[in-house]
Amino acid sequence: MKRNSGFTLIEVMIVVAIVALLAAIGYPAYQNQVLKARRSDAVSTLGEAAQTLERCFSQYYAYNDANCPLVTGGAVAAFTSPEGYYTVSSTVLNANQFTLQAVPTAKNRQNQDTNCAQFTITHTGTTAAQNSAAADTTELCW
């Protein structure tokens, strides 16, 4: 008697169920890691912007000098980070101090990162982050 050497329907269904289970567990974890990885866009952009303002201060003795490349009309004109995940702007900008803020743009999924909803850096180099409930999450985010 000749025996078939294929898979039975039960075996195929078991494999499909296992793959579906792994995907159901793995995909949310993957999405969470993507959100974490994209935080570096905010951190690096804020660092570069702060360095640019420090160069302005060393040249013009003021953070808000009109000759500074980031300053428009006495404030940092809001701009999008290089990867496009965050919008950077100044909340404080005068001759002697600045505070820069990065928040996720509305166009991408990064605004679902409720743990790190806002990043800030000041003229003293102080960094901070807040979650969507305005609680301090600096250690987690920076």
Q: What is the pLDDT of residues 133-142, one digit of tens each?
A: 999 999 999 9
Q: Rounded CA gap, 134 and 26, in Å?
A: 29
Q: Is the pLDDT of residue 94 over 70?
A: yes
Cα-trace Rg, the chain = 24
What pTM was estimated for this model as a whole? 0.82
pLDDT tens-digit map of 7-53: 889 999 999 999 999 989 999 889 889 999 999 999 999 999 999 99
Model confidence at 86: pLDDT above 70: yes
Task: Give ∠ CA 34-40-42 in degrees, rounded to 5.
Answer: 115
Residue spans per domain, the chain: 9-141
Residue in the block written with tokens 């000759």: 67
Q: What angle do CA 140, 126, 129 make, to 5 degrees?
A: 30
What tokens does 120 get? 């800030």
Give the separation between CA 39 and CA 114, rounded to whole angstroms: 12
pLDDT of 54 > 90? The answer is: yes
